[in-house]
Copies of this chain bind each other. A is one copy, B any other.
Amino acid sequence: MSFKKLDDLGRRLESLEHALSILGADEATHMAVGGGEKRAEAMASLAGMYHAQATAPEIADWIEAAKAEDLDTDRKLAVAEFERNYINATCLPTEFVERRTAATMRSEQLWRELRPRGDWDAFLPALEGVVALVREEAALRAAATGLAPYDALMDQYDPGNRTAEIDAVFADLKSFLKDFVPEALAVQEERLARRPRKTLNAPYPIERQRELGLAAMRATGFDFTHGSLAVSHHPFCGGVPTDVRMTTRYRTDEFLSSLMGVLHETGHALYEQGLPRDWSHWPLGKARGMGMHESQSLFVEMQLARSPQFWEFMLPLVHQHLGEDAVPGWEIEDILNEVNHVERGYIRVDADEVTYPLHVILRYELEQDLVAGTLEASQIPEAWDTKMIEYLGISTINDPKDGPMQDVHWPGGAFGYFPSYTLGAMIAAQLGTAMARDLPDMGEQMRRGDFAAINRWRAERIWTEASRHSTPDLIARATGEKLDADHFKAHLRRRYGR
C-alpha cells in the first residue's frame, strides 16, 4: 500500500528532523565552543541525508498511487501535503541548489563581516549574485507550482498567500499608519507628560528573572513535561513538539526585555505543543507556516501580554519573584508605558507594533521589485531611503548598517519571508476579535491569569488543525472571514489612539 510507504518515509524524515532540531538547539545552548566545526559537518551531512530521502524519485510514484487509494480524510489531506513538500523539495535541480547554497553561505559570511562597518559597496557584488539566483529560483518554483514568481517564493513560507490579496491588505494598513503613527506619538507624548517613565530598581539577578520567566510560561500554558527554557545569545523557540526548546537572554539592568521575549516565544511553543501528536511525522502534522506561527507568538505577546488586564495578574508575579522593591511605586500604567512605547526607528527588530508593519511593507515592496527585475540590488539604498522617509520620516542613506544591511534575510537568500511578520500581527488581531466574540469574559480571565479557555479556543481552531488548510483558509475558518486589516487597525487604535 503506497500510503504506508509515505507514512514510513515520514517517520524516517521526522527522525532526521528531530536530530537536526535538537542538535541546532543544543548548538546555541550547551555546545562547547570548540565543537562547532564537527557539529556543522554532522548537521550538513544529516541535512544531505534528509534531502536525498525526501527527493527520492520513487516518492512521486507513491504519491500518485496513494491518491488512487481509498483513504480517510486525514490521509487524503496528508497525501496532498506530501505532494506539496515533494514538489517544493524537487523543483530545484541539484546543480542549482549547490550553486545557491554556496553563494548564500558566502554572502551571509560576507554580510556578517561587512555589516558592522556598513560597507555596502563591498557587499553589493555578493548581494547581486544572490538576487540573480533568487530570480532564477523564483522562475523554477513558478514553473513547478504554476504560481507567479514572487508568490512561488512566498508559498514556501505561507502556503496559499498571494500578492493579489496581500498587496491590498498591506496598502490599506500602510495608508492607515501614515496618519496613525503621528497620532500615536502625540497621544504618547501627552500621556508621558501626565505620567513620566519611572526608573527601574536594578540590578535584577538572572536566577530570579529565570524564575519569573518560568512562572509566566507556566501561567500562560507552557507544558514543562514537553519543553524547557535555556539561555542563548539570540532567543528562539526550537526543538520538537514533544520537547520544545525555548531560550531567552538576560540583562541585569532591566527585566522586561527578557520577560516579553519569553512570552513571545511561549506563543510559538504553545503552537508546537498543541499540534496533533498522532501524525507528527506527516507534513500535514506540522505547523501551517511562518505567518501563522508568528500570529501565535504575537497573540501572546501583543494581544495578551501588552494589555492592562494581563498585568493585573503579572505585576504581582514580578513582585513575588524579583522582590517587593523590584519596581518601586509602579502601577500597571507604568509597565504599559515601557512595554508599549512607540518610536520611529531605523531597526525592524527593535520596532514597536505600531511602526513595525512599515518596516515590513517597505521590504515587501522592494523584494517584489527585485524579483521582478524592476529594481536592481545597486538601487536598493536609494529606494530604501525614499520609502523610509515616506513611511517613517527618517533617512538611512548615510548608514547602510542600519538601513538595507540590517537583516540577514536577503544576504541569506530568504525572499518572500518578510511579509510573514506583519501577516502574523494582523492574524493575531483578527483572532483576538473573534475570540472576544466567543469569550466575552476573556479580559476577566486574563486578570485572573486564567488562560485555559483562551488556549482551548486557539487549540481547536489553529493548533490541532496543523496543515489541514492553506493559510488563508485557516484564517477564514478560525475567524469567520478572510484576512482584513481592520482588526489590526482597531487593535492599534484601542491601545495607542485617542
Q: A interface vs B, CB < 8 Å?
A: 11-12, 14-16, 18-19, 22-23, 26, 29-35, 37-39, 41-43, 45-46, 49, 223-228, 230, 240, 242-244, 280
Kindly state the separation between the CA atoms of A280 and B38 in the bound complex, as whole angstroms: 10
Q: CA separation between A348 and B14, bound complex, in Å?
A: 41
Flag if B228 contacts A12 (CB, 8 Å): no
Min C-beta distance of A243 to chain B, whole Å: 3
Contact of A35 among B32, B41, B243 (CB under 8 A): B243
Check if B230 sits within 8 Å of A38, measured CB to CB: no
Is chain A's binding surface mostly helix, strand, loop or mixed? helix
B46 touches A19 (CB 8 A): yes
List B contacts of A42 (CB < 8 A): 14-15, 18-19
Bound-state CA distance A74–B411 (Å) is: 42
B228, A30: Cβ atoms under 8 Å? yes
> Are B35 and A226 in contact, CB atoms less than 8 angstroms apart?
yes
The residue on B at minimum CB distance from A43 is B15
Q: Is the CB of B242 within 8 A of A38?
A: yes
List chain B residues, Cβ under 8 A from A223: 34
Q: What is the CA–CA distance of A254 and B373 in the complex, to the nearest angstrom?
A: 71
Q: Could you tell me if B224 and A45 are in contact, using CB atoms closer than 8 angstroms?
A: no
Complex: A432 Cα to B129 Cα, angstroms? 61
Closest Cβ–Cβ distance, residue A92 to chain B (whole Å) = 23
Measured between alpha carbons, how far is A244 from B35 in the docked complex, in Å? Answer: 9
On whether the beta carbons of A37 and B228 are closer than 8 Å, the reply is: no
Known: A12-B45, A42-B14. A35 touches B230 (CB 8 A): no
Known: A30-B230, A32-B226, A45-B12. A240 touches B18 (CB 8 A): no
CB contact between A225 and one of B22, B34, B242 (< 8 Å): that residue: B34
The 8 tightest CB contacts between A and B, nearest first, are A35-B243, A15-B45, A18-B42, A34-B225, A15-B42, A34-B226, A19-B19, A38-B242
Minimum CB distance partner of A47 in chain B = B15
Once the chains bind, are A23 and B34 in contact (CB under 8 Å)? no
Residue of B nearest to A21 (CB): B42
In the complex, A46 Cα to B14 Cα: how many Å?
Answer: 10
Nearest CB on B from A73, distance (A): 25
Q: How far is the CA of A444 from the CA of B225 in the complex (A)?
A: 51
CA distance A39 to B21 in the complex (A): 12
Contact B37 A242 (CB under 8 A): yes
Taking A32-B242, A34-B223 as known contacts, 5 extra A-B pairs with beta carbons closer than 8 A to each other, sorted by chain A number, are A15-B42, A30-B230, A37-B242, A39-B242, A39-B243
Closest chain-B Cβ to A382's Cβ sits at a distance in Å of: 46
A243 touches B45 (CB 8 A): no
Question: How distant is the Cα of A12 from the Cα of B34 in the complex, in angstroms?
Answer: 21
Task: Give the distance in Å from the alpha carbon of A16 to the alpha carbon of B19 in the complex.
Answer: 9
